[in-house]
Structure 1
């Protein structure tokens, strides 16, 4: 296609659609009708951001006034004043600027282009370089403070801000202060992999986002594998979380890509240099293991560059230990990172420190390894977001690594058994959580059962089963030759 024709076509569309067309014409992606439609919606949001009210001037934190320790009345008055300021600010913005732009919540299967299109939108909010064919005054490039972050990492940041605030003001209300901090840092928040599995997150979200959106005019864009009504499904005290879902629907356009079935990540198959497996279990020809070991040593960079063990700082004053490392690579056994009580904060810190992480002896992950699998999926997400190269050795091929399962509740009364949809309640002799594997095998899953967790965690198990598909897809993409920071 002639360059002039490409330029005219580019200028006839909004910035996100134009960027998408460039990638299609360059052969980087295949045109997908669902992606074209999503790009057009991002174009509309891009235009509406030009009318976004300015960020308000920072207000004083009532908890930092001298009255906090001596006069609860003055503290109450100062908070009332802050509330009144917020009320009149919202009324003025609504009258002068009109209603704030609606956000977007995009849900659908893995690999259909949700994050890809969101990233094109995110990039469109910066001034293009001189080489872009779309560098034309007819395309408005909105200048806006922004932040793009994996939702895991965002919530860790929120919890850390609350922790820091509470250290100084044990009796203070941290949420308004944290909301103000976040709003002053970014008018647009783009979240990848929006999901809610923890009660602590569920209790924070409604109030935090209400302040961000209603008081501070922050616009939220999120991608998720879950529809809004399926968020925190079956979680503890979910009724307290439902107002957040209502607010999400009220302030955001809910866009479904559930009909898209193409996982485009799987079209770029791994090059075989990031995932190794052997099923000999120590029997038969050991040359395979020796060859893999030699490849791992080459990736690592040899033992000559090994340094002493290192403690990597983590949020909340913790550390994670690394026994084998050099300046660019850390080497672990699966048990080091996934059998230990580690989480997203630990894995994010490791990814920030090391461009390459090697992990040996990854087992096949099924309903018998729920906690370990959950940590492993979280590690994959952290590596994916930071473009850290994750090199694995496993007992099975990649397409057999995650064993599909579903979690259900089984109620019994006498000799009768009944599978019910309601996932609430507590474990008892009449309500036992069950895990059904892909092969149809059923295992008890209760506080005293073989898995060792309670019925209240059923939602997390279902989310994990859902996350398996995303993790496998991401591992395929991360196995490509161009993957990684170095």
Structure 2
């Protein structure tokens, strides 16, 4: 019998994103995942289409700038046989935490080279910047429409926008988004976004959500929607923490006094000096606000949980802190459940900002990390189960546009906010349900952020 040698030739990936992904797999940095491979192929197609991306139309006259986008849009729709190339469709990627959405988007972003101008930004930070630009423009032109000017400014700065953690929890953002995104698309801007929520679940239960629905429709018409909902593996949880970023002790237990003293000693060592530090420092934030830091040195700021999360602070404040300090210490973190909805939402925002900026976040809490966030869901219940909650578009005593109503078993309609019977508002209900998503993301990120190589320094 004659032996024959069979040589199998493996087809190498040709797409930029897929090739970069395969190099990570071969280096042992990631495990091959079917959902990630499929997403890489989609991103390859978008990468290739960017070579024919039409330029941003530019005009310096502000009056013409405000109308140029709509004129350009009309020409694109009615005269496609002209030299207008079709704009590549954006991509909206949604799925559970830790399945590789941001990882693949970052591989795509890194593969895009000049002449395409590009920007990768956390969605929190981007919307804060949009609000700041509106504020600055309105100071000089109080009666003018700021949005066309701002959209063109953004388009000139980056023709590819990659958003991480796309989410809508603020009514002001919800009202801005459809118009802003429509204008960006007309200025030939391509958008890629990751989110924990599907388009139909964005701003779910939010105030005046009916005004936001046209944005969802536009998103589904103009973007490729890619779901990774079937990916069950949270790869962040495979990162081993070094034990030096999360400390806990049960302060109610007398036997834990020594543990608590040890934790305080370790926090002081991380801080790099005494717990009082130098003199208090005032950190300047957007829109003329400030945050005062009592315990501070050149590289680290030390807070109690109440100082950062019981106060009316938000993403802008946390971004300014992360810009200033590579290390933040937060002490006395309680277990976060339904009794801490507002505080938990601020804390999750802080975690997101620290994660995005690679700021080392050191926490001292009352419970282990796997018990820090208590998973819950909010729902509407009546005492007898015979009341139905719905939204009326006609409005009521407290709203001329729309209001939330209760319909009893007798068919009587009463305004929810006027009766006080439920003890909560629709906005509070929406915020509570949003935390179900954000808790899981925050817990996953804290594990990854506890790795020994995490941080800017």
Same fold (TM over 0.5): yes
Q: What do residues 226-278 of structure 1 show as CA deviations (whole Å, max 9, x unaligned)?
A: 00011111111111111111111111100000000000000112111000000
The reply on whether 1:123 has 2:110 as its aligned counterpart is yes
Aligned-residue offset at 1:284: 1.7
Kept in 2, the 8 Å contact 1:411–1:430? The answer is no
Q: 1:191 aligns with which of 151, 163, 167?
A: 163
Aligned-residue offset at 1:187: 0.3
Q: What do residues 137-178 of structure 1 show as CA deviations (whole Å, max 9, x unaligned)?
A: xxxxx6310111111111001001001111111111011111
* Of 90-99 and 247-256, the range deviating more from structure 2: 90-99
Residues 312 and 87 (structure 1), Cα distance of their counterparts in 2 relative to 1, 3 Å cut: same
Give the match's secondary structure for 1:384. helix
Note the residue ranges of structure 2 that are not aligned, 5 or more in a row. Answer: 1-8, 394-401, 409-415
Alignment-derived partner of residue 225 in structure 2: 254
Alignment-derived partner of residue 69 in structure 1: none
Alignment-derived partner of residue 103 in structure 1: 90
Alignment-derived partner of residue 53 in structure 2: 52
The reply on whether 1:393 has 2:395 as its aligned counterpart is no
Distance 2:433 2:275 in 1: 45
Aligned-residue offset at 1:79: 5.4
Alignment-derived partner of residue 26 in structure 1: 27
Residues 380 and 80 (structure 1), Cα distance of their counterparts in 2 relative to 1, 3 Å cut: closer
Q: 2:101 aligns with which of 111, 114, 134?
A: 114
Aligned-residue offset at 1:449: 8.0
Kept in 1, the 8 Å contact 2:169–2:206? The answer is yes
Aligned-residue offset at 1:448: 10
Kept in 2, the 8 Å contact 1:365–1:403? The answer is yes
Give the match's secondary structure for 2:243. coil
Alignment-derived partner of residue 18 in structure 2: 17
Residues 304 and 256 (structure 1), Cα distance of their counterparts in 2 relative to 1, 3 Å cut: closer
Give the match's secondary structure for 2:179. helix
Alignment-derived partner of residue 4 in structure 1: none
Residues 348 and 96 (structure 1), Cα distance of their counterparts in 2 relative to 1, 3 Å cut: same
Aligned-residue offset at 1:188: 0.6
Kept in 2, the 8 Å contact 1:10–1:18? The answer is no
Aligned-residue offset at 1:16: 0.5
Alignment-derived partner of residue 312 in structure 1: 283
Aligned-residue offset at 1:290: 1.5
User: How many residues matched?
Assistant: 434
Distance 1:163 1:156 in 2: 11
Q: What do residues 343-395 of structure 1 show as CA deviations (whole Å, max 9, x unaligned)?
A: 00000000000000000000000111000000000000000000000000000
Alignment-derived partner of residue 231 in structure 1: 202
Aligned-residue offset at 1:423: 11
Kept in 1, the 8 Å contact 2:392–2:403? The answer is no
Give the match's secondary structure for 2:301. strand
* Of 232-241 and 253-262, the range deviating more from structure 2: 232-241
Aligned-residue offset at 1:416: 3.8
Distance 1:449 1:380 in 2: 34
Distance 1:38 1:405 in 2: 31
How do residues 378-457 of structure 1 correspond to structure 2 at under 5 angstroms?
378-411=349-382, 415-417=384-386, 426=403, 454-457=425-428
Kept in 2, the 8 Å contact 1:52–1:97? The answer is no
Aligned-residue offset at 1:458: 2.1
Aligned-residue offset at 1:88: 4.2
Distance 2:240 2:51 in 1: 40
Alignment-derived partner of residue 352 in structure 1: 323
Residues 288 and 14 (structure 1), Cα distance of their counterparts in 2 relative to 1, 3 Å cut: same
Kept in 2, the 8 Å contact 1:410–1:420? The answer is no
* Of 26-35 and 84-93, the range deviating more from structure 2: 84-93
Distance 1:450 1:394 in 2: 36
Aligned-residue offset at 1:407: 1.3
Kept in 2, the 8 Å contact 1:106–1:223? The answer is yes
RMSD of equivalent CA atoms? 2.7
Residues 305 and 373 (structure 1), Cα distance of their counterparts in 2 relative to 1, 3 Å cut: closer
Alignment-derived partner of residue 293 in structure 1: 264
Alignment-derived partner of residue 465 in structure 1: 436
Distance 1:400 1:450 in 2: 32
Give the match's secondary structure for 1:222. strand
Aligned-residue offset at 1:479: 0.4
Kept in 2, the 8 Å contact 1:426–1:456? The answer is no
Distance 1:99 1:116 in 2: 28
Give the match's secondary structure for 2:254. coil
Distance 2:93 2:68 in 1: 37
Distance 1:113 1:365 in 2: 26
The reply on whether 1:372 has 2:343 as its aligned counterpart is yes
Aligned-residue offset at 1:98: 2.5
Distance 2:161 2:349 in 1: 21
Q: Structure 2-normalised TM-score?
A: 0.88
Alignment-derived partner of residue 210 in structure 1: 182
The reply on whether 1:220 has 2:191 as its aligned counterpart is yes
Kept in 2, the 8 Å contact 1:408–1:421? The answer is no
Distance 1:78 1:292 in 2: 58
Give the match's secondary structure for 2:250. coil
Aligned-residue offset at 1:59: 3.4
Give the match's secondary structure for 1:147. strand
The reply on whether 1:326 has 2:297 as its aligned counterpart is yes
